[in-house]
Structure 1
Amino acid sequence: MDLEAVAAISRLKYRYLRTLDTKSWDEFSDTLVPKATATYGVDLQFESRDALVDFMRNTLGPHVITEHHCDHPEINVEGDTATGTWYLADTVLIPEHNMVLRGAAFYSDSYVLCDDGEWRISHTGYERTYEVVVKTTDLPSFKLTFNRWALPTGPLFESPRAQ
């Protein structure tokens, strides 16, 4: 087993998740090859890096807070290509719609070692094991106390700095 490649691919996946959650779209784009494909469940499919990044940028903009965790990697390296399976747990908050989504899935990824010596994702996608959506109004004690991308406004947002 090529432990250096496994470590580099693990860092790549973690960077993919971090840049997705921090909305660092240029760095997120750099985790993918230009012809990268993606399949998230049945309905979301992308045939290029640009299409995927544009969708994420437009859908998961500052009005959406995301948290993605992947662990339990199973990575197989064969020369300059690799595959990986990861367990995903994620949370999506959309304060303006009073919505919280929680879910879990298994990612199936393909990777390629690029000419610059960096591993990148050539395909990514997941199949959900479950997904739940809850209205924050159904949670009487729910209070969003900080949002990196928004000013403190609205009934769900009570910032300690505003008090």
Structure 2
Amino acid sequence: MSRLKYAYLRALDTKQWDEFADTLLPDATASYGEHLRFDSRDAVVEFMRTSLGPQTITEHHCGHPEIDVDGDTATGRWYLSDLVLIPEHDMALRGAAFYSDRYVRGPDGRWRIAHTGYERTFEAVMSLADIPSFRLTAHP
């Protein structure tokens, strides 16, 4: 499951939407806090694609996995630390959360995410304009 979660995060941060979609089951659900809930892989991918467009820079780190496997299903809890930079709005968001995931191993032997979601422990938003030394020196 570690490899799967890391692929989910890497594909999200690099905006590889087909690869991101392939980490999720077609009927996967997701809940990112109390206001963002999705009932399908397509809905999750579309939200991420439109919300985290090419000018939005994201960095997601997950660690401290607590994974329980029961045959072809599993659950996982992860600690998330994330950073989101939106230069066009002079905004930065730093946060932390605990992910709770459910996984299913398919007939092809690959694990995919059946449900993913997190509860924030904190979220801080700041203006990049308030950080006089801030310079974005590389971004594709």
Matched, 1:128 2:120: yes
2:36 pairs, out of 35, 41, 44, with 44
What CA deviation, in whole Å up to 9, does each residue of 1:68-119 have, x standing for no partner?
Answer: 0000000000000000000000000000000000000000000000111000
| Higher Cα radius of gyration | 1
Distance in 2 (alpha carbons) for counterparts of 1:134 and 1:14: 27
**What is the TM-score with the length of structure 2 in the denominator?**
0.99
Choose which of 20, 27, 30 in structure 2 pairs with 1:28. Answer: 20
Correspondences of 1:1-150 after superposition (within 5 Å): 9-148=1-140
Root-mean-square deviation over aligned CA pairs: 0.4
Aligned length: 140
Q: Distance in 1 between matches of 2:107 and 2:21?
A: 17
Structure 1 unaligned residues grouped into runs of 5+: 1-8, 149-163
The amino acid that maps onto 1:67 is E
Structure 1 outlier segments of 4+, above 2 Å: none
Which protein has greater RCO, CA pairs closer than 8 Å, 6+ apart? Answer: 2
TM-score w.r.t. the length of structure 1 is 0.85
Q: Distance in 2 between matches of 1:69 and 1:121?
A: 17
Q: Share of identical aligned residues, percent? A: 69
Distance in 2 between the 1:112 and 1:37 partners? 13
Distance 2:134 2:94 in 1: 15
Unmatched tracts of structure 2, length 5 or more: none
Shift of 1:63: 1.6
Cα shift readout 1:103-140 (whole Å, capped 9, x = no counterpart): 00000000000111000000000000000001001001
